[in-house]
Amino acid sequence: MQGKTLILWSVVIIACLACANGRNEKPSVHSERQVLPGSGSQRGDTATFAAGCFWCVEAQFQELEGVDTVISGYTGGHLKNPTYKQVTGGNTGHAEAVNILYNPEKITYDELLEAFFVAHDPTQLNRQGNDIGTQYRSAIFYHNQEQKDKIDFYIKRLNEEKVYAKPIVTAVKPYGPFYIAEDYHQNYYRLNPDQGYCQFVIAPKMEKFKKVFKAKLKN
């Protein structure tokens, strides 16, 4: 990682908008659906990130070349097969998160980490903007020791370079049970571009994300 790139991030990250309240909730219809530890795409591997509302994070990472699939769900908690309503209640211990199934021949884990630290503010504890609670915490769930080593290196370097005004609070945890969110959460931004939250919160974040990663976007 080059020092100049790190300094550039500090400008970009400050400009990124955080997720806000106002997301519409639909009735929970939730059968048991779980992505087991170690699962990945047919051609590659999996990264698991939590960075506030999963609608935003899903939409951002879907744009990157080499990312095959992004699955929104819940992980890091104690309740088996939680619903959206339960998770947003803040008592399950789960975070809104995404499983990113990617092809490492087209995009590396390092590049995904770079995108993660640009996509949100990792210095906000248990919140992103107006979304407040442990379910919106910044966290990375590593699938193997190599991923953990890279995560630790990035966080240490970003803090040393003082890219952010405050220390990074991103939690680093081993990957555990990941429960796929209800169907209406999947591909939310793509399917609901005219929804108010998408227009006023996600769209501006997408615009900034695409500017930073212009060379890495899908055609």
State the total domains in the chain: 1
**Residues 192, 87: contact at Cβ < 8 Å?**
no
Q: Is residue 6 part of a domain?
A: no
Q: Is residue 192 part of a domain?
A: yes
Q: What is the pTM of this model?
A: 0.83
Query: In terms of C-beta density within 10 A (0-12 exposed, 13-18 middle, 19 or more buried), how is residue 132 classed?
Result: middle
Q: Is residue 119 part of a domain?
A: yes
Q: Domain limits at 99?
A: 31-198
Beta-bridge mates of residue 172: 140
Per the document, the length of the chain is 219
Render pLDDT for 133-189 as a digit per residue (tens, 0 to 9).
Answer: 999 999 999 999 999 999 999 999 999 999 999 999 999 999 999 999 999 999 999
pLDDT of residue 32: 55
Q: Is residue 215 part of a domain?
A: no
Q: What is the mean pLDDT of residues 12-38?
A: 45
pLDDT of residue 26: 52
Q: Is residue 21 part of a domain?
A: no
Q: Is residue 95 part of a domain?
A: yes
Q: Is residue 20 part of a domain?
A: no
pLDDT category at 129 given cuts 50, 70, 90 is: confident
Query: What is the C-alpha to C-alpha distance for residues 75 and 88, in angstroms, rounded to an integer?
Result: 13
For this structure, is 53 an active site residue?
A: yes
Task: Name the catalytic one among 16, 19, 53, 198.
Answer: 53
pLDDT of residue 30: 46
- Which CATH number do you get for residue 83? 3.30.1060.10
Phi then psi dihedrals of residue 76, to 5 deg: 90, 5
Q: Is residue 51 part of a domain?
A: yes
